[in-house]
Amino acid sequence: MEPCVIDAQGVNSHDLDWKNRIEAEEFFSLRGGRKVDLLDAGGGDGFAVGAGHGALLRYPHVRHLRGELALRVAATAAGRVELRANATGGPLLASCAIRPTGGLDRFEDVRCPPAAAALNGGAGEVELVAAVLREDERRGEFLRVDSLRLA
């Protein structure tokens, strides 16, 4: 059985019409990453998710997911984050190109244009699945994700 992390914020419902942001640490499950306290890591206050190639985050009960998205990230290598509906092989909602930002404490916004499957007007509810992929497929943390929001 794969270990998963469930914390007090872990089983949220995310209505993007009400609050257009999902904090990365509000995951239901996380594989291949860790929750990072940014104050302890020297990157500000709050939390982020540190991830490596192959990391997988799941956010259940996401409503009104539509249009262009943006991730707030810090990265030491190039890669991408694929956002899918309901499963790792589910419809691609967006693919976010990641480039190095100068360190894991230097956050930038990355715009993620919607894929064809996402252009349904945000109807319904999905489990948002975020897959982290490093361009050179090397292991180890190279990415920190602070949040996802409607752009």
Distance, in Å, from the CA atom of 73 to the CA atom of 110, rounded to the nearest integer, reads: 7
Domain assignment of residue 9, yes or no: no
What residue spans of 3-51 are helical by DSSP H? 38-41
pLDDT in tens, 61-116: 888 777 788 999 999 999 999 999 999 999 999 999 999 999 998 999 999 988 87
Handedness of CA 119, 121, 125, 131 (dihedral sign): positive
Which residues, in sequence order, are bridge partners of residue 148? 22, 71
Q: Is residue 2 part of a domain?
A: no
Judge whether 3 lies within some domain. no
Other beta carbons within 10 Å of 18: 9
Q: Which residue has the tokens 């009400």?
A: 18
The answer on pLDDT for 10 being more than 50 is no
The residue type of 36 is: V
Range of the domain at 72: 14-150
Q: What pLDDT, on a 0 to 100 scale, did the predictor assign at position 52?
A: 95
- Under DSSP, is residue 40 helix (H, G, I), strand (E, B) or coil? helix
Tell me if 7 is assigned to some domain. no
Token output for 123: 């109807």
**pLDDT tens-digit map of 16-69:** 666 788 888 888 999 999 998 876 555 555 788 999 999 999 998 888 777 788
Q: What is the CATH number of the domain that holds 20?
A: 2.60.120.260
The whole-model pTM stands at 0.83
* Residue 2, pLDDT above cutoff 90: no
Q: Is 1 within the bounds of a domain? A: no
Residue 8 falls within a domain, yes or no? Answer: no
Total number of domains in the chain: 1
Using CA atoms, how far apart are residues 49 and 139, in angstroms rounded to an integer?
A: 16
Is 95 among the domain residues? Answer: yes
